[in-house]
A and B are shown apart, each in its own frame.
Chain A
Amino acid sequence: DAKTTQPNSMESNEEEPVHLPCNHSTISGTDYIHWYRQLPSQGPEYVIHGLTSNVNNRMASLAIAEDRKSSTLILHRATLRDAAVYYCILRLNTPLVFGKGTRLSVIA
């Protein structure tokens, strides 16, 4: 599986937008970009996924660079409940392979 690079941790103020970056310079043309998050003491949960175009859903937006070598997960208004570890995962017909992710702290 192609590798992703994420910052170990980030901090955000409550009700402000958060941009979580992910670098994946070795991505192949058919790898999908998935984001999952893990809230404290819970199993991971799906956030969003995309291939080439930007994607929006009720939880977040995914912005994918034109060359697909990087992507950004956007939380439009961070809440305390968004404090979690966020995983950026490249996927091609395989189960999810998790890295260490980015630990997001949200400050009230």
Chain B
Amino acid sequence: DADVTQTPRNRITKTGKRIMLECSQTKGHDRMYWYRQDPGLGLRLIYYSFDVKDINKGEISDGYSVSRQAQAKFSLSLESAIPNQTALYFCATSDGFRDSATDTQYFGPGTRLTVL
């Protein structure tokens, strides 16, 4: 079984709909992250959480919200989806046991979201 799972893997929705993307991990890591990737570009950080009580905005948090329900679960919500939020979304985790400069991030398989 995969260590970092994302559901759904693909989703098509309409403008204005509320969408939730879910991420679960079995690695026992405290730190979790949400990124989006647009075609031909690198990943951009949306939100990250260093533990259940800690939530931080990333580079492009506008239009998104997150919930850290438990150590193993980190959800990303689009309150009112718009077409330019069409992208590939990746969840990641890291152990944070060492310095943040050296811990390894492990990525999920991604969720392809299309907003019509």
Contact = CB atoms under 8 A, between A and B. Distances in A.
Interface residues of B, number: 25
Given A43-B107, A43-B110, A45-B107, A91 B101 contact: yes
Interface string B39-64: 01111110010000000001100000
B74 interface: no
Contacts of B110: 41-43
A98 B43 contact: yes
B100 interface: yes
A94 B40 CA distance: 24
Contacts of B44: 98
Contacts, number: 59
B1 interface: no
A43 B108 contact: yes
B86 interface: no
Given A43-B92, A43-B110, A46-B105, A99 B99 contact: no
Interface residues of A, number: 23
Interface in A18-71: 30-32, 36, 41-46, 49
Q: What's the dominant secondary structure at chain A's contact region?
A: loop
Interface in B64-116: 90, 92, 99-102, 104-110
A93 B108 contact: no
A99 B107 CA distance: 17
13 contacts: A31-B101, A43-B107, A45-B106, A46-B104, A46-B105, A87-B42, A95-B45, A96-B33, A96-B45, A96-B92, A96-B105, A98-B35, A99-B42
Interface of B: 4, 33, 35, 40-45, 48, 58-59, 90, 92, 99-102, 104-110
